[in-house]
Structure formats: C-alpha cells, structure tokens
Amino acid sequence: MQKYLVGGAVRDQLLGIAVKDKDWLVVGATPEQMLKAGFRQVGKDFPVFLHPKTNEEFALARTEKRSGSGHTGFICDFAPDVTVEQDLCRRDLTINAIALAEDGTLVDPYGGQQDLQNRVLRHVSEAFSEDPLRVFRVAQFYARFSDLGFTIAPETLNLMGKMTESGDLRSLSGERVLAELQKALNCPTPWPFFLALRQCGALKQWFPELDALFGVPQPQYYHPEVDTAVHVSMALAIACTEQLPEAVRFAVLCHDLGKGLTDPNDWPHHRGHERLGLAPINALSERLRVPKAWQKLALVVAEWHSHVHRIHDLSPETIMELLTALDVWRKPELGEQFMQACQCDYRGRSGFTNKAYQHIDLLRQLINATQQVDVQAVIADGFAGKAISEEVARRRLGVIQNLCSPT
C-alpha cells in the first residue's frame, strides 16, 4: 500500500500558495483493508475514506469509463492494481495531475510542473470532454489564478468550445454550475470566469442574460468605460475587493441585466432598464437555483439602484416607497447589503474606483431615522388594527419629509 498527496495541495505547494486541504491517493489497497485500518468510508460512487484522526480524505486509485451523460455518468474501477499514473490520467488539468510520494518524489506524467511554470491551464487527455462540468471548472481556475498570469491553452479552449456545441453542458444541474460560480465569486478577480465561458460559448448557454451585455454602450458622461459588461466587471471587482457577502456580489453581477433588453434605437440610453432587469434576474436565479435571499436582493438592487444615485432629487413619497421595498424596518441587513451593492455600482466606473459615494450617507440617515418610529408608541396613542400600520407609515413619511426639506 502506497499513499500520495494529490490535487490542489500539490499544485498550491508548488505555486507557493498556502495549502488549506490535503487529499490523499492510496495505491494497492482494498476497501476492506482501509476499513480494517480504522478509516471511515464516505461516498457512494467510489470508495473515499476519512482518516480516523485527521479527517483528511483518502481515495483509492481508480480509473473511470463513461457510461452515460452528465458529470456523474461514469463506471469506476478501483482495483488494487490501478497505478498512480492511471489515476492521474483521469484528472481535469495537468496542474492538478501531480502526485507527491511519501519520499518526496513528484509523480508528474503529464507535464503539470512545466505548465505551472508556464502558467498554462491544459487538459490532461481527451477524456476531459467526458465531464461537461470541467468547462466551468477550467473557467473557475482561470479566475482563481488570473492574478498569477495563467492562460487557458488554445487546444483546451477549443475542446471546451466543442463540448459546448455538442449540447452536453445542458445535462448539468443548476446546483453544480452554481457551485462553480460561487467559487469564482469568491476570487479576488472573478471576471475571467465569465470571459472564459464566453470564449467557448458556454456563457450564452448558461448566462445568456449576462452575455447580452457585451458591447452594449452606455452614456460616456456617466460611464467613461462605455461598455456595459466592462462596467459590471468593474463593479464586481469592487465587491470582491471589499470582501462583500456572496449575495451582494450576485446582486452586483445582475444589477444592469435590463440594459441588455432596452431598445437599441435609444442607446446609449437605457430608459426603464431597472424594471426590465427583473425578468432576466428571475430567469437566471431559477436556472442556477440560487438562494432566495440572493434573488431577492438582486431584484431590489436592479429596480432601485438608480433611485439612490439621484436620492437628493426624490420626493419623500418615493423615498418612502424605496425604504418599504427594502423592508428596512424588519430586515435591516437587506438595506445594508442594498447600499453596498449601490456603492459598487457607483464606484465601478472608470475614474470613480476610489471616490466616496455620498448618496449612501443620506440613505443611511433616512433608514436610521425612520427606524426610530416606535410602533408601541403608536399603539399607546390609541391606534388599533389596520390604523396602526397606517399611522406608523404616516410618521415615517413625516420623518423623511423633515430630513429632506430644504434648510
């Protein structure tokens, strides 16, 4: 029985990146031997075991043969005579197909070290095309390592394009694609994920609402970067740099989807894009099965973000409508995340990256002031039933009017 450190742990160690999780490969063992040694078995498709003390994963060396569609349609052979080289051959990228033996020897039959040196993401073999999820994994790795200068090998990108054209990506579940999207959104620079998908055609299949933004112009006076997709990429970069919650990052990604649906005859203006963006957000959210909290925040950001940019010109009634839509009195965290997304939208423009967004100060002041309206005080004043909520709303509107009145 031999064990090897494999996968991301070896890759990151060679890149000088801190290793977070360790995965081990076991050659020459049977499930019975692993159980006898005290390991706990997990997984149904093939034997993976947890170390009795460290809880690290130990997987038996295996080969895979395609037996159906999708990323789960495989027959696995994990016989004791499967070699480390055979196991590495089934992996996605050469940089993930390097093993470290117990004596410190590197097993690298597919040139992973050379590709790490050259900063290239390259598929190990043609078997790559048997798993459609790998298209999204490559895109995700491209985002993760873009700051290190990695590129996707032309032959790998070409293969990803063929996989997309075949329609095999449609067999994936929304949950699986969402998992790769989440990893990308947690990268310092997530936009390469979408660029890679667009290069191979997968963006149009799974994110058509986002794909429609590329090349759509905006008024240069407000958006010196002009292209809507470029603006979204810049706003998303702000959200990631600030390490904002995933829900905010998703909302920023979706906030201008309506601009892909406005009348081209009106471009570069996008009148009504706020409400036009609601349908594509719902469609994308349902396709990816995103958390309902993400979807709700994305919808309210899309519909109301433009109002915040001109909050000093809004009527008290419209501000009241905005705060009601945000439900800031019951869910203050929604209001906070909304303001974070709006700030990313404001700063995600050429020349605005480091500018303070003062409109948020007034909005936060309005939220804090209206939160001071005491429902119990309204009840103590004799209001009952439906009249309670009406009086609370009237008092909140009064607070807004006082704060917004000219001095």
10 Å CB burial of residue 234 (0-12, 13-18, 19+) is: buried
Q: Which residues pair with 120 in a beta bridge?
A: 151
**pLDDT tens digits in sequence order for the chain, 407 residues long:** 899 999 999 999 999 999 988 999 999 888 888 889 888 888 666 678 889 888 888 989 888 766 555 545 556 777 778 899 999 999 999 999 999 999 999 999 999 999 999 999 999 999 999 999 999 999 999 999 999 999 999 999 999 999 999 999 999 999 999 999 999 999 999 999 999 999 999 999 999 999 999 999 999 999 999 999 999 999 999 999 999 999 999 999 999 999 999 999 999 999 999 999 999 999 999 999 999 999 999 999 999 999 999 999 999 999 999 999 999 999 999 999 999 999 999 999 999 999 999 999 999 999 999 999 999 999 999 999 999 999 999 999 999 999 987 65
* pLDDT score, position 405: 74
Q: Which residues pair with 115 in a beta bridge?
A: none
List Cα–Cα distances, 252 to 72, 85, 208, 224, 299, in angstroms. 32, 43, 16, 19, 10
Q: Please give the model's pTM, rounded to 2 decimal places.
A: 0.91
* pLDDT score, position 44: 65
The DSSP 8-state label assigned to residue 5 in this structure reads E
Residue 353, C-beta contacts closer than 8 angstroms, at least 6 positions apart: 234, 238, 347
Interatomic CA distance for residues 7 and 90, integer angstroms: 12
Q: Give the ranges where 16-94 is alpha helix by DSSP (H).
A: 31-36, 84-89
Task: Tell me whether the omega of the peptide bond preceding residue 268 falls within 30 degrees of 0, making it cis.
Answer: yes
Question: How many CA atoms does the CB half-sphere of 153 hold within 13 Å?
Answer: 18
What class does CATH assign to 119-202?
mainly alpha
Do 280 and 303 contact (CB within 8 A), yes or no? Answer: no
The two domains 1-115 and 119-202 share their CATH topology (first three levels equal): no
CATH classification number, 1-115, choose in 3.90.180.10, 1.20.1050.10, 3.40.640.10, 3.30.460.10: 3.30.460.10
- The amino acid present at 329, given as its one-letter code, is W
What are the boundaries of each domain within the chain?
Answer: 1-115, 119-202, 207-309+336-355
How many other C-beta atoms can be found within 10 angstroms of the C-beta atom of residue 155? 10
